[in-house]
Amino acid sequence: MDILQLIDRLEELFNEAKAVPFTHNVLVDEDKMLELIDQMRIAIPEEVKKAQQVMAQRDRVMAQAQEEANRTLQLAREKADQMMQKDMIMQEAQRRADQIISQGRAEAESTRADADNYVVDTLMQLQEQIAKLSNQVSNGIRMVQEEQLRKETGNVSEKIEN
């Protein structure tokens, strides 16, 4: 299940929880909460795998760009060698070879930059999702702990009164 769907389910569980009168606390079904937390633990590694796949894809794109640049360089060198055999065209051949090399490098750098931006954007989105999830889980844990403390305090008060 997608991590965002799990977060939505967690929010639904919170919204369906019963309010404790005169407090900002709610009672949450412990089994449902723990089940959601377990599902989130399973889903997060999937998101990390997706990020790793994105990084692997970036590496493939970069390798393809480098290969294309190498091919472009090789073609430029071959073209330059052919043109240099003719004295009158030697300067034009050099200019064209430099242009092809520059264009190949620019294209490779552009592709590399696009891949890096894609990876950064994807990882930042993942980081935001994980931060939201962590915050929601922390809030859930805090609420459950406060409820437990309230119950314990209530039990101690009852024992003192008896």
State how far the Cα of 103 lies from the Cα of 100, in Å rounded to an integer: 5
Residue 159 in any domain: the answer is no
pLDDT surpasses 70 at 114: yes
Angle at the Cα of 15 (from 9 to 18), degrees rounded to 5? 125
pLDDT at 60: 92
For residues 54-58, give the mean pLDDT.
90
pLDDT tens track for 69-101: 899 999 988 887 776 677 666 777 788 889 999
In a domain, residue 20? The reply is yes
* Reported confidence tier of residue 160, pLDDT bands at 50, 70, 90: confident
Q: Does the pLDDT at position 48 exceed 90?
A: no
Kindly state whether residue 58 falls inside one of the protein's structural domains.
yes
Reply yes or no on whether the pLDDT at 159 is more than 90.
Answer: no
User: What pLDDT is stored for residue 88 in this prediction?
Assistant: 64
Residue span of the structural domain in which 101 resides: 3-154
Q: How many domains does the chain have?
A: 1
Query: Taking 90 as the threshold, does the pLDDT of residue 134 lie above it?
Result: yes
Q: Report yes or no on 160 lying in a domain.
A: no
Q: How far apart are CA 122 and CA 64, in angstroms?
A: 21
Q: Is residue 162 part of a domain?
A: no
Report the pLDDT value the prediction gives residue 162, as an integer from 0 to 100.
62
Average pLDDT over all residues of the chain: 87
Tell me the three state secondary structure of residue 19.
Answer: strand
Q: For the residues 15-29, what does the mean pLDDT come to?
A: 89
Residue 42: the pLDDT is 81
**Do the domain assignments include residue 72?**
yes
pTM for the model: 0.36
Evaluate whether residue 118 is within a structural domain: yes
Query: Looking at the domain assignment, is residue 131 inside a domain?
Result: yes
Q: How far is CA 23 from CA 11, 27, 48, in A?
A: 19, 11, 38
Beta-bridge mates of residue 27: 18
